Amino acid sequence: MRSLLIAVLILLSALTLASSQNQPQKAAAAASIEKAYSPQLLRDLAALRDAALADDYGYQQVAHLTENIGPRSAGSPQAEAAVNYVAAELRKLGLEVRLEEVKVPHWERGLETAQLVEYPGQASGSTQKIVLTALGGNTPTSVEGLTAEVVVVNSFEALKALGRQKVTGKIVLFNVAFDKQKASAGFWGEAYGEAVAYRGGGAKAAADLGAVASLVRSVGGADYRIPHTGWNQAAGIPAGAVTSEDAELIAHLAAQGRVRMHLVLTSQNGPEVTSYNVVGDLKGSEHPEQVVVVSGHLDSWDLGTGAIDDAAGVAVAMETAQLVQQLHLHPKRTIRVIAWMDEENGGRGHDAYGKAHEAEFANHVAAIESDLGAGHPLGFWAKINPDALPLLQPVQDILRTQGANLINLVSESPGSDIAPLAKAGVPAFGVLQDARTYFNYHHTAADTLDKIVPRELRENAAAMAVMGYALADMTEPLPR
pLDDT tens readout for residues 405-435: 999 999 999 999 999 999 999 999 999 999 9
- List the beta bridge partners of residue 100: 277
pTM above 0.85, yes or no: yes
* Per-residue model confidence (pLDDT) at position 21: 61
| 106 pLDDT tier (thresholds 50, 70, 90) | confident
Start-end of H helices in 143-215 = 156-167, 180-184, 188-208
Mind telling me the catalytic residues?
343
What's the rounded Cα separation, in Å, for the pair 251 and 158?
Answer: 14
pLDDT tens readout for residues 324-381: 999 999 999 999 999 999 999 999 999 999 999 999 999 999 999 999 999 999 999 9
What the chain holds in terms of domains, given with CATH numbers, is: 37-107+271-473 (3.40.630.10), 110-266 (3.50.30.30)
Find, among 64, 120, 363, the residue nearest to 256 by Cα.
120
| Amino acid identity at 114 | A
> Does residue 4 have a pLDDT over 60?
no
| CA 112 to mean position of chain CA atoms | 26
Average pLDDT over residues 154-166: 97
Find, among 367, 406, 362, 411, the residue nearest to 385 by Cα.
411
Complete DSSP assignment for 63-74? HIIIIII----T
| 15 pLDDT tier (thresholds 50, 70, 90) | low
The length of the chain, given as a count of residues: 480
> Does residue 10 have a pLDDT over 70?
no
What's the rounded Cα separation, in Å, for the pair 24 and 386?
Answer: 19
What's the rounded Cα separation, in Å, for the pair 269 and 250?
Answer: 29
* Per-residue model confidence (pLDDT) at position 25: 58
Instruction: State the CB neighbour count (10 A cutoff) for residue 109.
Output: 17
User: Could you tell me where the beta strands, DSSP code E, fall in 320-472?
Assistant: 333-340, 364-369, 377-383, 406-409, 428-433
> Does residue 294 have a pLDDT over 90?
yes
Quote the percentage of the chain above a pLDDT of 90: 90
Question: Is residue 102 within 8 Å of residue 333, measured between CB atoms?
Answer: no
| 218 pLDDT tier (thresholds 50, 70, 90) | very high
* Per-residue model confidence (pLDDT) at position 270: 83
H or E element, residue 92: helix 77-92
What's the rounded Cα separation, in Å, for the pair 233 and 300?
Answer: 18
| 230 pLDDT tier (thresholds 50, 70, 90) | very high
* Per-residue model confidence (pLDDT) at position 466: 98
* Per-residue model confidence (pLDDT) at position 17: 60
> Does residue 1 have a pLDDT over 60?
no
What's the rounded Cα separation, in Å, for the pair 135 and 214?
Answer: 10
Average pLDDT over residues 194-206: 97
What's the rounded Cα separation, in Å, for the pair 145 and 114?
Answer: 9
pLDDT tens readout for residues 26-83: 666 677 788 889 999 999 999 999 999 999 999 999 999 999 999 999 999 999 999 9
How many distinct helices (H) and strands (E) make up the chain?
A: 14, 16
Cα(first)–Cα(last) distance of the chain, in Å? 53
Question: Exposure of 92 by Cβ count < 10 A (0-12 exposed, 13-18 middle, 19+ buried)?
Answer: exposed
* Per-residue model confidence (pLDDT) at position 61: 98
What's the rounded Cα separation, in Å, for the pair 28 and 303?
Answer: 54
What's the rounded Cα separation, in Å, for the pair 431 and 406?
Answer: 10
Question: Is residue 258 within 8 Å of residue 117, measured between CB atoms?
Answer: no
